């Protein structure tokens, strides 16, 4: 029996990008557990080796090892989903590259990496999917962004800029694609918990924070603030459940904050003048004394 024959005519088919890491993996498995047919795409086949399965609710997961870092790879992933399931209803892009640090200290290659993961890869996949979904009569595109795209933190200029670019693209596409019954949704976590916990040195290497230089005191304060913020950090499973909620809504909203902390910061962006919000951010992160 072919994979396509395992899915019914009413089964929704989803492609999930970056599924070899925590958030993407959680999304792919959660959708399958709720009856979706899923093509989980990611660059690390070893981490996805245990993912292919059929679920009790009639869902299933197949994997496709790819980095989605070129237009050709994005097109090939979409074609793979079509060949396996004979349709494609949903795309979820969830690759995220963290970065914190002073702009003046951030090299060009680091900026390029952040924008490649947080903006260019979802742009490529979405752009390649639009003609396919338009021809099919509709679909649902979801991008996992970050509250940092709307509420910036000190030392987050590159990170916030990359997510702000993604948010702007999705806001435009929401209007652009409405006539074709293609929904466009942003999923907005704040900080996402890392599993397992990382050492301070490893965390600095990942995020780009440097303990020295003229921003040393601000860096130390931000690291201390992160320690407290991690207590309420969103988990990959919470992100997955938020994606499922967006897909389940008959009239999906433009944005879905993942947890209460993200929702509070995004609500504050709407409510407060910029200078007031700036002061609240600095005070909340215990950085006001470093003005």
Domain coordinates in residue numbering, the chain: 3-286
Tell me how far apart the terminal alpha carbons of the chain are, to the nearest angstrom: 65
In this predicted model, which residue has the larger pLDDT, 180 or 225?
Answer: 180
Confidence of residue 288 (pLDDT cuts 50, 70, 90): low
93-103 per-position pLDDT tens digit? 998 888 888 99
pLDDT on residue 216? 84
The pLDDT value recorded for residue 204 is 57
Quote the distance between the C-alpha of residue 58 and its chain's center: 26
Pseudo-torsion of CA 127, 132, 138, 143, nearest 10°?
-30
The mean pLDDT of 13-39, rounded to a whole number, is 96
Residue 220 CA to residue 262 CA, distance in Å, equals: 23
Q: What is the pLDDT of residues 158-193, one digit of tens each?
A: 999 999 999 999 999 999 999 999 999 999 987 787
pLDDT of residue 203: 55
Question: Was domain 3-286 assigned CATH 3.90.226.30?
Answer: no
- The four Cα atoms 114, 236, 188, 37 give a dihedral, to 10 degrees, of 100
Supply the pLDDT for residue 290.
Answer: 46
Pairing, β 139-144 against β 90-93: parallel
pLDDT at 26 over 80: yes
**Is pLDDT above 60 for 198?**
no
Which residues face 142 on adjacent strands?
92, 185
Mean pLDDT across the chain, nearest whole number? 87
Would you say 68 and 121 are in contact if contact means Cβ atoms under 8 Å apart?
Answer: yes
């Amino acid at each position: 029996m072919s994979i396509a024959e395992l899915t019914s005519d009413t089964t929704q088919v989803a492609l999930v990008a970056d599924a070899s890491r925590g958030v993407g993996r959680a999304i792919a498995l959660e959708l399958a557990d709720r009856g979706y047919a899923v093509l989980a795409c990611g660059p690390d086949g070893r981490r996805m080796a245990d993912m292919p399965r059929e679920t009790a609710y009639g869902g299933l997961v197949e994997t496709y090892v790819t980095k989605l870092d070129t237009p050709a790879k994005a097109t090939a992933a979409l074609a793979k989903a079509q060949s396996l399931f004979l349709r494609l209803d949903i795309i979820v892009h969830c690759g995220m590259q963290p970065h914190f640090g002073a702009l003046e200290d951030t090299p060009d290659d680091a900026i390029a990496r952040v924008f490649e993961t947080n903006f260019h890869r979802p742009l490529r996949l979405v752009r390649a999917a639009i003609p396919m979904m338009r021809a099919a009569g509709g679909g649902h595109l979801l991008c996992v962004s970050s509250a940092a795209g709307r509420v910036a933190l000190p030392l987050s200029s590159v990170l916030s800029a990359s997510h702000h670019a993604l948010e702007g693209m999705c806001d435009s596409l929401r209007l652009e694609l409405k006539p074709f019954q293609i929904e466009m949704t942003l999923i907005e976590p704040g900080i996402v918990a890392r599993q397992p916990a990382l050492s301070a040195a490893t965390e600095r290497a990942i995020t780009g924070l440097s303990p020295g230089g003229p921003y040393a005191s601000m860096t130390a304060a931000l690291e201390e603030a992160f320690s407290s913020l991690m207590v309420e950090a969103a988990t990959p499973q919470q992100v997955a459940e938020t994606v499922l909620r967006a897909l389940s809504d008959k009239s999906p909203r433009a944005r879905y904050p993942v947890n209460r902390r993200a929702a509070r910061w995004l609500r504050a962006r709407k409510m407060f003048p910029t200078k007031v919000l700036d002061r609240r951010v600095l005070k909340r992160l215990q950085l006001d004394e470093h003005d």
